[in-house]
Amino acid sequence: MKIVVLDGYTENPGDLSWEELGKIGDLTVHDRISYVENPIIAKTVGNAEIAITNKTPISRQTIDDCPNLKLIAVLATGYNVVNYNYAKEKGIAVVNVPTYGTQIVGQYAVGLLLEICSHYQYHSDTVKAGKWENNVDWCYWDYPMIELYGKTAGIVGLGRIGQATARILKSMDMRVLGFDKFQSDAGRKVAEYVDMDTLLKKSDVIFLHCPLFQDTEGLINKDNIAKMKEGVIIINNSRGQLVVEQDLAEALNSGKVYAAGLDVVSTEPIKGDNPLLKAKNCLITPHISWAAQAARQRIMDITVNNIKEFINGNPVNVVNK
């Protein structure tokens, strides 16, 4: 059984081990091949039966050029980098890792909010630069300090990650509203379900934890922003395409949106002409909500299990049944 990893570096820059995968078959690991469609991808897969990818695309053409391919394993939850419908036509299973990052992504979302509210790193930098030492008063703050107690958070997408975020927010004595097409008892335990317009109008902070679908693409746009409170804070570590970036940039610059904390943008890596790079009060990190070592180890462990179960004839986490 030949197994090839197309872009393993982000998953494992050296602090994890590929050993368990190597026990399954003849394993070849590449740090990175290409993040855009390229004939080198099919050449790299070659005659392997199993291809493992994170963000390297596996297109219809690649599938056609790799006739031995039986399984495509995605080192992530999102699997839109694979032409999974065509893979199904060709009898190739596509599996993903659906639950590895629930807690860390929720933690990271709240962390973005806390940084916006208190600007920890900025104030630490000013102390080290001598500002406190030379200050006439016993303390100072260069940004407004925002207390979250009693404020209302709205979570768009109250699945596993949305619920994890909600639990943290409730522990901070915030009111939590949730919008999701599919309501659940678990969601009701941590949030009050409301319609989208109510969430937009009543929330002091809005978190995006929904998947990217046709009806969620561009969800944060000028029309929906107009429904929000003055000075709302927006947090997105889900998918960059949920946001119309020019509309958000204009809202930040006008003050309608007080601040945004983003771990994702529409095109990644970010392009130099992205309007959010110059927008006021916009915190952007490079899509790392998921990247704690413990979470990446879970990705590795679940992927190993996905492949073992497929080989044993009991496939799990198949996204193209």
pLDDT in tens, 260-283: 999 999 999 999 999 999 999 999
Catalytic residue among 119, 209, 239, 298: 239
Catalytic residue among 119, 287, 296, 298: 287
pLDDT tier at 150 (50, 70, 90 boundaries)? very high
Q: What are phi and psi of 178, to 5 degrees?
A: -140, 145
Superfamily designation of domain 2-100+293-311: NAD(P)-binding Rossmann-like Domain (3.40.50.720)
Per-residue pLDDT, 159: 95
Instruction: Give yes or no: 268 in active site.
Output: yes
Residues 93-129: pLDDT tens digits? 999 999 999 999 999 999 999 999 999 999 999 999 9
Residues 214-237: pLDDT tens digits? 999 999 999 999 999 999 999 999
CB of 202 within 8 A of CB of 154? yes
Catalytic residue among 19, 32, 89, 268: 268
pLDDT (mean) for 13-24: 98
Structure tokens belonging to residue 253: 């610059």
| Fold observed for domain 102-284 | Rossmann fold (3.40.50)
Instruction: Give yes or no: 123 in active site.
Output: no
pLDDT tier at 16 (50, 70, 90 boundaries)? very high
Q: Percent of the chain beyond pLDDT 70?
A: 100
Where along the chain do its domains lie? 2-100+293-311, 102-284
Per-residue pLDDT, 173: 98
What is the distance of C-alpha 247 from the center of its chain?
A: 21
Instruction: Give yes or no: 188 in active site.
Output: no
pLDDT (mean) for 287-309: 98
Mean pLDDT of the chain: 97
Per-residue pLDDT, 168: 98
The set of long-range contacts for 240-246, using a CB threshold of 8 Å and a minimum separation of 24, is 240/264, 240/265, 240/266, 240/267, 240/268, 241/212, 241/217, 241/266, 242/208, 242/210, 242/212, 242/216, 242/217, 242/218, 243/208, 243/218, 243/219, 244/218, 244/220, 245/274, 245/275, 245/276, 246/275
Per-residue pLDDT, 183: 97
pTM of the model: 0.93
| Distance separating the N- and C-terminal Cα atoms of the chain | 23
CA distance 170 to 140: 29
CA distance 58 to 84: 9
